[in-house]
Amino acid sequence: MKSIRFLRVLSTKSFNTSKTVLTRTVSLLACNRRVGKSSTHLLNQSDILQIKPCHLASYVSLARQPGSEASVAAVTVDTSRKNCLITWEDGFISQFHSAWLRHNCHCEECRHPNGQKLLNPSDVSPSLVIVSAVIQGSSLIVKLEGMDDSHTVQIPTSFLRSHNYNSHTILDRRVQKRPEPASEIPFISYKDIINSEGCLYRWVRHINEEGICIIKDVPLREDMVQKVVEMMGPIMPTIYGSTFDVEETPEQINVAYSNLPIGLHQDLVYFESPPGLQLLHCLEFDDCVEGGDNIFLDAFDMADKFRAAYPDLFQTLTKVPATFQKVHYHRDLPVHVVNQKPHIKVNHFGEICAVYWAPPFEGPLAVEMEDVEKYFFAYETFAKTLENAQLLKHRLRPGDLVVFNNLRMLHGRDGFESNGGARRLRGCYLNIDMFKSHIQVLHNLEGDGRLAKRVGNQCWF
């Protein structure tokens, strides 16, 4: 999907919508959503999308904060009496199934003030039919046949607009949430982050959109990596503790603690829920140290390219499970973790929603005999695809702190010779759901309400 560089609003007056929606680069489908129209066309990068102010809300409704105002022009029920159709004043049409409406009732019997649903799911039949549907104030009021007559479904219209699920909206959501690979590593200064809410927001956006960002001039203190991660959420402890040092040591419980080269991989993929963000703060990296540059590669981008080049092999890597393991008893905290999952996972649309790649932590393949050879053929081809890719490469300097999405970005390093010098990084992790929540909250409170990009946690939403 190419980017639309401009949105032209056909009005001589300024159109007051989300703070930056008219100036940011937007990637979406131009869908004619006027009543009676259903055509969809792709825009070229050079196209200028012309939208009247009264229609603009159709295109940016997903980029609004939850609870935004929405005006209804008409409410109808289809002939099956299973679907309620809402025509909004901008011409956008939403359709809601009777069971969906029942499950999303906002009355005090069905939903707690904290947002939790109180409804017993077994009490709702998917075959409920709609008796009536009207707008009262700012809510849709629906009576459903088969329910207790004393109960009426109540749903705010703003909730309905924000959670519309027709095909156009779902397609828009999928396009908005698709991340684009970075051509270079973005940088930001530590001073700017701590002194400017805008810079803090920009830093988190870089992590979400490019998958990586380097903070410059972070103070050379061992507690700084923890202070930085806690700007987004609490540290995620692992078998390596809350924080860990990456340096050459005599007791090498991980190859990272040697001077050997490390191929592209993700950390702790043998966990059911691997760490989301990884932070590495460079405390020492003497000039006399030869090598040791860090390398990064977007796994989602490479999986997309692999599918285009080798569709059959791609399918193999989505179906045949690899074995990932960490079995190590000769350490202070003995570990025995084994997990099976495919290298690539796709959602019900066939879109890539997770990639798992960690050759150093793979155990013996344990699948049916007929899958063994085709797995290794697909595995070898994908490995060669990664080896031939253009990498992002950077030699960290003392004070650099790199933050990257471990579920999206493969990482590794060149081997190095210390030559009497030191190379020491202090690292930690952040749970991916904590990060995803943090970026979406910032989008809603500080930005234009856009949707967070996919983060690689198997969720397409």
User: pLDDT tens digits, residue range 235-254?
Assistant: 999 999 999 999 888 776 77
Structural domain contains residue 149 = yes
Same domain, 410 and 300: yes
pLDDT at 366 over 50: yes
pLDDT at 198 over 60: yes
Q: Total domain count for the chain?
A: 2
Structural domain contains residue 40 = no
**Average pLDDT for 32-61:** 34
Within 13 Å of residue 269, how many CA atoms lie on the same side as its CB? 30
Q: At what angle do helices 311-319 and 299-309 cross, to 10 degrees?
A: 130
CA gap 441, 449 in Å, rounded: 8
What amino acid is encoded at 320 in this protein? V
Structural domain contains residue 65 = no
Cα 49–50–56 angle (5° rounding)?
A: 95
**Average pLDDT for 217-242:** 97
Chain mean position to CA 371: 31
Strand partners, 354: 345
pLDDT at 166 over 90: no
Domain interval for residue 154: 72-163
Q: CA 124 → CA 61, 107, 128, 453, distances in Å?
A: 29, 15, 8, 33
Same domain, 129 and 272: no
Structural domain contains residue 172 = no
CATH code of the domain covering residue 435: 3.60.130.10
Structural domain contains residue 314 = yes
CATH code of the domain covering residue 123: 3.30.2020.30
Mean pLDDT of the chain, nearest integer: 85
Among 298-307, 398-407, 440-449, the least confident range: 440-449
Structural domain contains residue 246 = yes
Same domain, 372 and 250: yes
Cβ atoms of 364 and 323 closer than 8 Å: yes
